[in-house]
Amino acid sequence: MTRHHNFCAGPAALPAPVLERARDEMLDYQGRGLSVMEMSHRSPEFTAIAEGAEATLRSLLNVPDNYRVLFLQGGASTQFAMLPYNLLGNGGTPNYLYTGIWGKKAITEAKHLGGAHIAASSEANGLTAVPRPSDIVLSSDAAYLHYTDNETIGGLAFDYIPECGAPLCCDMSSSILSAPLDISRFGVIYAGAQKNIGPAGLTLVIVHEDLLDRAHPDAPTMFNYRVMAEHGSMYNTPPTYAWYLAGLVFEWLRDDIGGLDAMNAINERKAAKLYGAIDASDFYSNPIEPINRSRMNVPFVLADESLNDLFLKESEAVGLLNLKGHRSVGGMRASLYNAVPEASVDALVSFMQDFEQRRG
């Protein structure tokens, strides 16, 4: 069996020890004679899995007691709509920072419910740097401020947590668990699972209890954070297997990696290696302001774009998978999520250097 180097932006690489454990527990989960996929979500076995996953996540991120952790479905894209449905019940204007394609989609959903104020934007710099704190101007009736911590397509990441008088809401789909985080700064954090959490099909929401009473009266039941919180994320059948795998990923982070400080140091090294190789060459380039370069998603272009197809073909042939940039921007993108080993980055860097030597 060969596992290739997987740089996919999502669904992304999962830690090999997690997949091995899932394999071992697949047919007969801990002597129960059935798989996790075949259990009732209300069974004591699954309740223990669900509660265990939440407890491990809470300890990894130091989630304060006055926050609820929800394990939902619908992806981060559903959160784009669910957030305004839950926070606009008392009126006010939703405020957004615009730094890329995902943020724009979030803004579009808020506009469906009446409108949105753009409190700052990266449009003027071509989405190559995030707004500075002094650029952020909220509307006087701000119901919340939303931003995208890491724009997965552009490879643009915030280097700070915005300060504001309104609840701070963040799409952390492609950066959660890559480093320690001060949850207490936020009103709502959400993330699709398929990058740093687990397989696609699960969406994590961490919400401050004080925000559970602001839902829009027309919010569908399945869109209501309070309903989901009161039912332990089991108002309906949750994505049980994805939840179980997320729990295994959280345990891997705690036990194999040693927690988020250790993960942060590894991620720092991986990104430094790849950006270092890009910056050392005239053959490759990345347009992002260095302070805002994403450690999770590294887009780069070749000086000679006519070599793109050859680069992708040759890289794939040596087991470097999914380096093609997002269809909306082209070029290349290497996603270096938690489960991408440092050895994969080393392999990518040496391929890039070799390719440049042969074709540059």
Give the DSSP H or E segment for 297: strand 297-302
Q: Decide if 50 contacts 243 (C-beta within 8 A).
A: yes
In the complex, the smallest distance separating the C-beta of residue 27 from ligand PMP, rounded to whole angstroms, is 29
How many Å apart are CA 212 and CA 206, to the nearest integer? 11
> Does residue number 171 form part of the binding site for ligand PMP (CB under 6 A)?
yes
104 is catalytic: no
Q: Which residues pair with 142 in a beta bridge?
A: 93
Q: Which amino acid is at 351?
A: F
In the complex, the smallest distance separating the C-beta of residue 151 from ligand PMP, rounded to whole angstroms, is 6
Q: Please check if 269 is assigned to a binding site.
A: no
Nearest one of 43, 32, 10 to 240, comparing CA atoms: 43
> Does residue number 251 form part of the binding site for ligand PMP (CB under 6 A)?
no
3-state secondary structure of 323: coil
Q: Please check if 58 is assigned to a binding site.
A: no
> Does residue number 173 form part of the binding site for ligand PMP (CB under 6 A)?
yes
Phi, psi angle pair for 120, to nearest 5° = -175, 155
Q: Please check if 240 is assigned to a binding site.
A: no
Q: Please check if 77 is assigned to a binding site.
A: yes
- Footprint on residues 136-155 left by ligand PMP (CB under 6 A): 148, 152
For the window 270-309, what string marks contact with ligand PMP as x by the rule CB under 6 A?
Answer: ----------------------------------------
Please, which residue, 10 or 131, has the CB nearer to ligand PMP? 10
Cis peptide before 15 (omega within 30 of 0): no
In the complex, the smallest distance separating the C-beta of residue 55 from ligand PMP, rounded to whole angstroms, is 24
In the complex, the smallest distance separating the C-beta of residue 22 from ligand PMP, rounded to whole angstroms, is 21
Question: What ranges make up the beta strands (E) of 74-197?
Answer: 93-98, 117-121, 142-148, 150-151, 156-157, 168-171, 188-192
User: How many other C-beta atoms lie within 10 A of the C-beta of residue 260?
Assistant: 20
Q: Please check if 76 is assigned to a binding site.
A: yes
Please, which residue, 67 or 80, has the CB nearer to ligand PMP? 80
- C-alpha 120: how far from chain center: 22
171 is catalytic: yes
Catalytic residue among 171, 252, 270, 324, which? 171
Nearest one of 276, 330, 329, 336 to 308, comparing CA atoms: 330
> Does residue number 325 form part of the binding site for ligand PMP (CB under 6 A)?
no
Q: Please check if 243 is assigned to a binding site.
A: no
Please, which residue, 116 or 277, has the CB nearer to ligand PMP? 116
In the complex, the smallest distance separating the C-beta of residue 158 from ligand PMP, rounded to whole angstroms, is 12
> Does residue number 102 form part of the binding site for ligand PMP (CB under 6 A)?
yes
Q: Which residues of 153-174 are buried (b: 16+ CB within 10 A; e: fewer)?
A: bbbbbbeeebebebbbbbbbbb
Structure-block tokens of residue 207: 């919400």
For residue 356, give Cα distances in angstroms to 59, 282, 283, 288, 340. 45, 9, 7, 21, 23
> Does residue number 10 form part of the binding site for ligand PMP (CB under 6 A)?
yes
- From 18, 76, 170, 228, residue interacting with ligand PMP (rule: CB under 6 A): 76
Residues making up the binding site for pyridoxal 5'-phosphate: 76-77, 102, 152, 171, 194, 236-237
Interface with ligand PMP (CB under 6 A): 10, 75-77, 102, 148, 152, 171, 173-174, 192
Active site members: 102, 171, 195
Residues making up the binding site: 42, 76-77, 102, 152, 171, 194, 236-237
Residues making up the binding site for L-glutamate: 42
